Structure formats: structure tokens, C-alpha cells
Structure 1
């Protein structure tokens, strides 16, 4: 090997090392990994509690152990961008009818993500608050929409902001960046989105399993959310409740191991590797079961029913549940 070849080989080796360092280890990253790679990624906090972004977190001292405990998450990881989860889903025309809670059109989602300063060709790490499965699902809903529009270099922080803070890591209360990014959305991957017609067919045939991602009281029809025009679940659906999707450590929620998720699903009559459609009330909590199925268990035949029970009942379809007084 001559001198020029040695120089070129060394340069390529160094470049490959940089690329590997900047890449994501998988769909979930730990706080240790993120702390070591902050310069190589874009951190995107997704929350509806936007005021907490510039408010200091609250801690208290456990009187028995003397340990500093997180009471309320606040602030953000240094350099984070802020995405209001209330802007992630929109009202738009569907079959000529105004319908809420839907994924934005390609151009609108691209504009939203650019407006919070996210760029193309650099890994994105989504950070939910991480204290309740509902706020974790805010981040996972955004993750699903990124996937629909072609983003593959993306992950979620295990434990979220709460886990970061509970470990005593540094935080900032500076305002969110105002620079506009250049992130580009690709054509929608419709394989990730289930339509009402597909859900009707799945309900009738049983060939595709339906996963209801709500709490048991809503699944059974004992109570309901105002946006859903009926009590109970889509006929044939199995329940995978939010409280089964994570474990709590020092006030922060963490994902379970794949083998644990598989066992929990089997116990609820759900086949982890079979084609599935996740839904909830409006398409928010369903992102949790979709993420677990697709990104943790590797089931690439999983879909999310956008609009969920709200859309199902809006279009005149029936739910079933337990008898009510």
C-alpha cells in the first residue's frame, strides 16, 4: 500500500467512526448514551405542557431515606427543541368531512417540524416528559408520524425528561431555539395507517388483531371520553392497557424488555408477531402499543388506526361492552 492509499484508508476509517458515533443504537436510547452523544443528535422534547420547558423542575427530600426525589419535571436537556404535542394532530377533511385528531398532510407536517428547528440528515431523539404513560405516548405519537413521513434516523429517550432529571443530570430553562430547520417529509407510508374500512374488515374476519390501548374501564364500556359516541370497544378487539406498557423507577417511566411485553400480550390474548391494528379514543394512546409492537418486538405488520374510536363512531360504527344499569 503506497502513501496515498494509506492516507485515503485512514480518512475513510476515521469517517466511518464518525458516522457510527452519530448513528442511533436503536429506537430507544438510554440517558447514558444521550449524554455521551448530545453533540451528534437533535433533541426534540414533545409535550403539551409547553410552559414547563422554561420552568425549573421540583424536587423533595424523602424523609426516610434522605434521597432527592423528582416531584414535577421541568426545564429541558440543554439544546433541546420544543414540539407542542397539541400541534402534532390536526383537524382536516377526510372523505369530505371535517375530522379531528388526524395526522397532518405531508406539507403541513414538514412545515411544523421545520418551524421547531429540526434539520434533515441528523439523528433525532424524542424526549417525552416521562412521568405518565399518556405523556410518553405524546412522544410516541410524534415518533409514529415521523415514521409515516419517512424519517428512519429517530429514537425515543427511555425514561424521558423525568429519568434524565431523576439521575441528577444537568438541565436548562432557556427558551426554545427559534431558528427554522430544513427537515423534509417523504410521501406518506400508508402501510403504517389503518383506515376505517380495514378496521371493519379486521373486526368481521379476525384475520388482523385489533388492539385497544385504553384503560379497561373504557374498553369494557363502563365510562367513555366525550369525543367517542358510544361505550365499549370495537368488536373483536383485545385490551392492552397503558399501565401495562412501562415500569416506574424514581418517578420516571421506562420500557420493559421484549420478552416481558410478549408475555403480557399473550396473557391478554394478543399475538406479538401477528398483523395488528392499534387504536384508542383518538389515536394518541394507540401510539404506545404500536411502538411496542413495531419497534420493540419487531412486528412490521402493525398499523395505527388514525382517529380511532372517535372516527369509528363518527362514521356510524358500533362498539360493544358490558351491560350498563
Structure 2
């Protein structure tokens, strides 16, 4: 036994255990090596992960080929806006809306600009895919056309009006006619979902008929008036002077930049949203003299 420095005997002896020292050092060294290795791996992989998050600089954005103005918009963004954000925009035309939305949902195309939110819901359901709408881009000009009458006031009682036959665009047409005081809709329904059966006030006794949007121009001579997209009548060689009313469409029908839902929250999607939110796009829509865009695709309305 040894005495403690203060003279008290605690009944045990302190000795250095020299036989366990090498084993302890080996364990500590092994742990240190593992920790150091993990840190090195983390340092090497972190830049790679960060790079992958924002790795895309070239984006394929879909448009409807029948809508030449949409391609014009994408070309303007590609040439005048995208370079300032360090990205490239490649316009991709595909006619079939179901296939186009499927390509967007699966990531073959990065986004599309050809539809408003309500048409997107119909098309996505038909395609069996999930899509997410984001920033508003532009609106399609709507017009009431007639080859028989020069103004809305000239339309006689009992005139035949032709409307789009798809749910989303028929709702927009009826809502526009209500906003102009030509029809009244059931107040218990949301106007954008309106169908001809929801008309409850028809003071001028209009006879309402429906047709495919693409067929409207060639059917115009057979009815008193037809309401649909300016672009469709332009494509059908119907002069703008046959338009007797060009109401401002509701903002809820604005085209949106649409992504596949699984890609909509990525840094790449955020970059595209930033590009298409640039105020120069709305200025272009407001001031352009391009006949394929002016009056066809308009700035996003106030309401």
C-alpha cells in the first residue's frame, strides 16, 4: 500500500497498466481513421450533390403547334430573357394535348405553356397523369364573330350563337357573355364551370349551339354568331373585322407554366419560373406588333 500525498491510506495501490496501452491506441486510431474517412467522403460528395440540384441549363418547353403565337412567345423568352438567367429554352411543338401532358408529367419535356389550369385538369385526368400549374403567362384573346351582323346590338332576337363544346372553354364563353350582359347564369354555380344548361336568363332568346373549336370558322356562315378563340378564327381565315366583340377574358383562364408534379418543386423548375416571371414577357405581349401574337395572346388581365 502507498500513502496518498496528504498522508491518508486509501487501501489500494495505483499502478500503470502497460499491457493494455497498445490495444487502446489501436482502437482510438481506428476510430479516428473512420471519422476522417467519412469527413473526406462527405466533402467530396457535397459539391457533386449541389451541382446535380441545379445542373440543367437547357430546357425543353412545349407549345401547341397550331398556335403560332405560342412559339413566338417561347422564341422571345429564349432570345431576350433566358440568356440573362444563364439558361437556354428549346421550344418543342407537339399537337396531341394528351401526349404532350404525358411527356411533361414524365419529364421528357420540362414544362408546357399551352393550357390554362382548368383545361389542364381535364387533359391530365384523360392522360392519367399529375401536373402542377405555376406562374401565369398570357391569355388567349376571345371574340364573338359574325359574317351577318356588324355589332352585338344588331343581333336579332332568337339569333343562333355557337359556343365551344368542351367543358372548360364553354364555361369561359358563357361567362364572357354573362359579363357583357347578354346571358345570365345560375348564381349557385361557379361561372367557369358553366354549361348551356346553366343559362337561366336569356333576354334576347338566343339559340345556343355547340361545336368543336376547330370547326367554328367553317361553320360561321351557318349561324348568326360564334364565340371562341381569336387564334382559331385567324387560323380559319376569318378576318378580324368580322369580330363584333372582343371581351377581356377572366384571369382564371390565363395560360400557366405547367410542370409534371414530381418535378414542380425542383431547383430547375424554380429557375424556369423565375425566367417566365420576368416582367419583360408581359411588356412584349402588351407592345408587340407581331400579327401572330397581337390580339391573339394578350397580357394577363387584372381580374
TM-score (norm 1): 0.22
| Relative contact order, higher structure (CA 8 A, sep 6+) | 2
Bigger Rg, structure 1 or 2: 2
More helix by percentage: 2
TM-score (norm 2): 0.23
